[in-house]
Amino acid sequence: MKKSESLPSGMALRAVLLLERLSRLVRAGDHASGLAPAQWEALRYLARANRFSRTPAALADYLGATRGTVSQTLIALEDKELVRKTGSSRDRRSVELSLTSGGVALLEHDALKDLARDIDASGEADGLAQGLQAALHQALVRRGGRAFGVCRTCRHFRPGGRGDKAGKPHHCTLLDEPLSDADASLVCFEHT
C-alpha cells in the first residue's frame, strides 16, 4: 500500500472530525442570519479578493462550485443588496463584483470571527494555520484546484520602493498592473 493510500492516523481523523463539527457550528450561525452558507462564502471571498479576482468565474473556482450555482448565489446577494455587479473596466464582456455597504456591515457579524477568537484563545493559532495550509495545499493538488494565495507571496509580485521619493507602487508582472499595499495583501485568482 502506498503512503498516500494508507489509513490516516487516529489524531488526523480526530482533527478532521473536529473541523467538520466546527464547520457545522459556523454554518448553523450562517443560517441564523438569513443567508445560506454559500452566500456567506461569497461575501467572505469578495471581502478578501483583489480587484482582478472579484469576478463570477474566480468566485466559482474559489468555491469549487459551478458557474450556474454561483450565478444563483450572486442573484440572491444582489436581491438582498449585499453585492453589486458592474461592467468590467478591463474586459467589457465580463463583470466585476463588489460588496455594498450592507455586505460590509454584515461581515462585521460573521460567525467565523467568533471561531477565530476561540482559536486565538487556544494559543495554537500559528501551528494550526500552518498545518491546515499544508493540508489545503495537498487537497488542492489532489483535486487539481487553484491556490488563490495572497499577492505578495506570488512569483509575479514585485515590491515597490517604499523609501524612494517616487513612492513606486508594487507591481504584478503577470497582469502588468500596479498594486497598492492593500492590493498586495489580498487573495488573487492568478496566484502562482
pLDDT at 157: 93
d(CA 191, CA 61): 13
Which pLDDT tens digit goes with each residue over 65-112? 999 999 999 999 999 999 999 987 777 788 999 999 999 999 999 989
Where do the domains of the chain lie, and which CATH numbers do they carry? Answer: 29-143 (1.10.10.10), 151-184 (no CATH)
Instruction: Say what the pLDDT of residue 82 is.
Output: 98
Could you give the CA distance from residue 81 to residue 72 in angstroms, rounded to a whole number? 14
- E runs forming strands in the chain: 83-87, 95-99, 157-158, 170-172, 177-179
- The whole-angstrom separation of Cα 89 and Cα 96 is 8
- How confident is the model over 20-38, as pLDDT tens digits? 999 998 888 887 788 999 9
CA–chain centroid gap for 18, Å, is 21
Angstrom distance (rounded) from CA 34 to CA 39: 10
- Residue 164 above 60 pLDDT? no
